[in-house]
Amino acid sequence: MAHKFFEPVDVFGGFTGWVIQTGGNPSLQEGRAAELGSDGDEIAHEGFDKKTSVTCVYGPTVYTGNLTIPKVGQIKTTFHVDSVAVAYNQQGFPTMTVTGHKHEEGNPDATCRTYTPTVVLHARKIGIPSALVDTTPTTPADVFKLAVAAVVGMKALTYTLSCTHIDEPDGDGGHLAGDNHDGVEKIDVEMSGEATALEYTIGAAFFVETNASGNQGNTSKTTRSVSIVKHIAHDTV
């Protein structure tokens, strides 16, 4: 086998506004059924439900306007898109990480429910946006917004879109069918400073999962981390 360098593989076939950085890094998993003898030792085994999981990381090719975020639940090439995460960087470009899977035995996933992002993610080269907007209401509303007068800064922000995927095995242990439910948008924010409730706002449609201080030590700057979530319905056909 020849040595390989500089050969990321975009197993999803590409996404608008993004270029592959790493991936697909396929990982093959298989269930294992075992039969034990009367003395408790194994006498036979058989594999079942073989599945390949992949992860691709992308960098942006668009630096103004808004980022294009793919739907989860869609089938791209032969892979089911499980989750999409966009992370902003204080001193670097944003990245998008997409995970997926496909079944190697039985029927592949097909015509699964899909979930479309409702949050607008701003395109940029370097840095972290201090405000995000929810497009679901008739009048777009803030999802998260740092007050203009806030003395704290943005340290990190990650947006994640996911759904719950359910697989049903066939009578022979292979894959019969799968589908999705319960789409979730999650935003993890870290602010560089002990932000008070007056220094940022959170949209009414989002639930605050965590709101905690961090790095409270004698050699570090105190930060505040906030994680908010919203459950969304699947796309209509």
CB 17 within 8 A of CB 62: yes
Q: How high is the pLDDT of residue 219?
A: 84
Among residues 28, 20, 31, 85, the alpha carbon closest in space to that of 58 is found at: 20
User: Does residue 198 register a pLDDT over 90?
Assistant: no
Start-to-end CA distance of the chain, whole Å, equals 46
Three-state DSSP state, 9? coil
Q: How high is the pLDDT of residue 214?
A: 83
Q: How high is the pLDDT of residue 179?
A: 97
Q: How high is the pLDDT of residue 229?
A: 96
Three-state DSSP state, 198? helix
Spatial separation of the C-alpha atoms in residues 45 and 47, rounded to whole Å: 7
- pLDDT category at 140 given cuts 50, 70, 90 is confident
Give the dihedral of Cα atoms 150, 156, 157, 162; nearest 10 deg. -150
User: Does residue 141 register a pLDDT over 80?
Assistant: no
Q: How high is the pLDDT of residue 19?
A: 98
Q: How many residues does the chain have?
A: 237
* Domain boundaries defined on the chain: 18-32+45-232
Rounded alpha-carbon distances, angstroms, from residue 184 to 59, 209, 217: 23, 13, 34
Q: How high is the pLDDT of residue 194?
A: 86
Side-chain-side CA neighbours of 67 within 13 Å: the count stands at 32
Contacts of 111 (CB under 8 A, 6+ apart): none
CB 222 within 8 A of CB 214: yes
User: Does residue 215 register a pLDDT over 90?
Assistant: no
CB 150 within 8 A of CB 194: no
Spatial separation of the C-alpha atoms in residues 119 and 138, rounded to whole Å: 14
In tens, the pLDDT along 76-123 reads 999 999 999 999 999 999 999 999 999 999 999 999 999 999 999 999
User: Does residue 138 register a pLDDT over 70?
Assistant: no
Report the range of poorest mean pLDDT among 172-176, 181-185, 229-233: 172-176
Burial (0-12, 13-18, 19+ Cβ within 10 Å), 39:
exposed
Spatial separation of the C-alpha atoms in residues 120 and 134, rounded to whole Å: 6
User: Does residue 1 register a pLDDT over 70?
Assistant: no
Q: How high is the pLDDT of residue 29?
A: 95
If you average pLDDT over residues 170-190, what whole number do you get?
A: 94
Q: How high is the pLDDT of residue 136?
A: 72
